Chain A
Amino acid sequence: MKILVCISHVPDTTSKINFSEGDTKFDTNGVQFVINPNDEFGLTRAMWFKEKQGAHVTVVNVGGPETEPTLRKALAIGADAAIRVNTAASDGFSVAKQLANVVKDGAYDLVIAGRESIDYNGGMVPGMIAGLTNANFVNNCIGLEVDGTSAKAVREIDGGKETVSTALPLVIGGQKGLVEESDLRIPNMRGIMMARQKPLTVVDPIDASAETTSVKFEKPAPKGAVKLVSADHLDELVNLLHNEAKVI
């Protein structure tokens, strides 16, 4: 089985979010970048398929050379090969077109991408890859087994979950639950050394126009101070929620 894991290069959760150039660009100054958490759950599940079922795992990212350390980290965790599509990731649709092209070229059986990235939160890349490659698609995937060309997946739905059967080729929009947080791997020294020897192929982008453009960013208005209510006067809290906040 050939697996492609899509890796988004995102600012760490604790990063300060600031914008530059008149609030039109994300300010990467002093920002630590990591593998998108939803992608990392998928990558770790892919490692399970590699170790238990002999799958070959390639990781891919659309971005400039500055994203290579993130791909190297994925190789250090255990992926076999990496591909970087050499163009700036401008919008979800154009990224999906680039990735769909990689999927077709490499004839991957299973594509795992996070349900959304924690920066732009578009939540569209996995579904669009499936649409563009005519593959089956399971979003919000919290469990995945593959046997030959058939697959069983668990999808989180509003208020519960559903179990589905499907077939390869398959695209997954993954999240926590594919593996648990405690299963995530920190690259060890051996992994980091081996990652240097593994192939990281840079490919040219295809011509794919951006269907949406980020024009401006703004930050939420600073929050007013919390209104504290004494634990002995909870009537006051009920009163505030009813008369001031009007939420009950």
Chain B
Amino acid sequence: MSLPTYTAWNYRIWHYTYLTICGLVFFFLIAPLFIILPLSFNAEQYIHFSAKMLALDPEGFSLRWYEDMIYGTKNPWGLAAKNSIIIAFFATIGSTILGTVAALGLSSRHMPYKAAFMALLISPMIVPLIISGTAIFFFMAKVGLAATHTGIVLAHIILGTPFVVITVTATLTGFDHSVTRAAASLGSNPVNTFMKITLPLILPGVISGALFAFVTSFDEVVVVLFLAGLETTTIPIQMWVGLREQLSPTIMAVATCLILMSTLILVSAELLRRRSERLRGINR
């Protein structure tokens, strides 16, 4: 933002102060994430910038914590990663299907009590996780699904659907219903119309909802703390356990991998959002 030449000096000062404040806030937001990256390559055992690291001496850096993460005998990261991926995969599929279908109904003009239904379907996102965790734990224990993959997947479907409902309903606002009517008038049945006409148009919203559901499941720790057993441990559980004991460099290595993953997801989500806006004819 450049200022016109006629700007008075006091506004000039105010303007640059303002930009500095903004810069500091952005720094506050993003810097904590980047502190982890160099520390994960630390050659020493402590979470600390060693003198060698500060001098950029190659000897100060190593990949030993990544080796430890992958090959370490006592480290449960392999099992945890496998569980996390399996659980997040099925939870994403479940949330996406249930959420998309529900969003189609909610976006219909004829839906009665729309606000009440919407409030209920979004509530798992609003209710504190500790309460959801407690309630779901009692339920899963009663039906014998505590400490099973199925139980955790069901719990994550509950937590993931609100995101899918929100993103898909947002995509469906401004959806041109005359195209589906045109398909119907040409003799297409509703399922065929959905698969061939509606779905391709709302696909960006569906995928970005699915990404949200995936991340929700992959990061979720509170509910899993109640539900997980030894065999159903996940990455967040292992991080939680590790962080409670002590900060180990291996956790920094895992965290770096997770930051990398979230960067990838952020990029795909952004690309999808732009594509969706283009498809719906919203130009910015």
Same complex origin of A and B: no
